């Protein structure tokens, strides 16, 4: 939110909009946050083409989720199926009372009962820790910053920048322009950092829920070794899944530098497995 306001201030100075411009920026950010707060689950489920899971057809799924919810004191979330051979899962919703958990058909086919329970515990941990709300607001703020930056650059192209007779004013205008241009990148890196931290927290919370670290370790190992990719992947929802659904090493060496990991939505699975082995 502070980054959105800072972009609004730079935007207003650069184009001489004054505090009115800052107010508009804050209103836009609040409106986007409010809209995503109420509709994030519907949007995520629609993007991934998830369908409601039938209680009779997917009795094992319902049985495992009900048991975990009773053990952790969570209300029963809505359950969905994504018809995809790649094993994966995600949770969404603004709070535990309005949560939804979606799993792919590939996850149900490739995981045994213990591994599936561990994956579901991971997703329910996201719900319990309000990670779904944090992730939604992070995405929304990135969208607000990108929107403001795009508008600012368009104004600049069409000659909207105010003139400045002083060197100091010109320097501040230049700094404001650079800030607007680089703000979307900074916001995106912040979102990825938040996502990685919440994934690590969910792993540990899932183990607290199941009391069996080897279950989640085995599930992560299967996810690591499986080469299929979710067909309905999208960068807007990539941070929601238990494993990065986007192709990670397209056209490059998988032995990447640590700087390239700044753009990952998840910690490397090997690091997650190593952390669980230490418990």
Q: How far apart, in whole angstroms, are the C-alpha atoms of residue 102 and residue 89?
A: 6
Q: How far apart, in whole angstroms, are the C-alpha atoms of residue 134 and residue 131?
A: 5
- Contact at 8 Å (CB) between 5 and 22? yes
- Contact at 8 Å (CB) between 152 and 25? no
Phi, psi of 32 (to 5 degrees): -65, -40
Provide the token pair at 89: 């899962």
Q: Which of 117, 123, 199, 244 is catalytic?
A: 123
Told to judge if 115 belongs to the known catalytic residues of this protein, a careful annotator would answer: no
- The region, left, alpha or beta by phi > 0 then psi within -120 to 50, assigned to residue 251 is left
Residue 204 to residues 20, 32, 115, 215, 275: CA-CA distances in angstroms?
45, 31, 15, 12, 9
Provide the token pair at 110: 């490739």
Task: State the catalytic residues.
Answer: 123
């Amino acid at each position: 939110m502070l980054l959105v306001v800072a972009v609004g201030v730079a935007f207003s100075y650069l184009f001489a909009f004054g505090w009115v411009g800052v107010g508009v920026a804050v209103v836009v950010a609040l409106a986007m946050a409010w809209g995503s707060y109420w509709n994030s689950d519907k949007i995520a489920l629609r993007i991934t083409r998830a369908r409601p899971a039938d209680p009779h057809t997917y009795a094992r799924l319902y049985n495992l989720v009900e048991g975990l919810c009773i053990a952790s004191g969570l209300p029963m979330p809505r359950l969905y199926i994504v018809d995809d051979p790649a094993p994966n899962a995600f949770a969404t919703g603004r709070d535990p009372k309005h949560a939804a958990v979606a799993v792919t058909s590939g996850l149900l086919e490739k995981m045994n009962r213990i591994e599936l329970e561990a994956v579901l515990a991971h997703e329910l941990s996201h719900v319990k820790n309000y990670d779904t709300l944090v992730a939604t607001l992070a995405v929304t703020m990135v969208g607000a910053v990108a929107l403001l930056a795009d508008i600012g650059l368009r104004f600049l192209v069409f000659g909207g920048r105010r003139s400045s007779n002083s060197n100091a004013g010109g320097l501040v205008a230049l700094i404001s322009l650079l800030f607007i241009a680089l703000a979307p990148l900074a916001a995106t890196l912040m979102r990825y950092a938040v996502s990685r931290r919440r994934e690590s927290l969910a792993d540990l919370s899932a183990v607290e829920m199941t009391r069996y670290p080897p279950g989640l370790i085995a599930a992560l190992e299967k996810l690591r070794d499986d080469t299929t990719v979710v067909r309905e992947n999208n960068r807007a929802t990539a941070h929601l899944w238990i494993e990065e659904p986007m192709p990670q090493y397209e056209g490059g060496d998988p032995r990447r530098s640590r700087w390239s990991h700044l753009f990952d939505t998840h910690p490397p699975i090997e690091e997650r497995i190593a952390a669980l082995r230490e418990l």
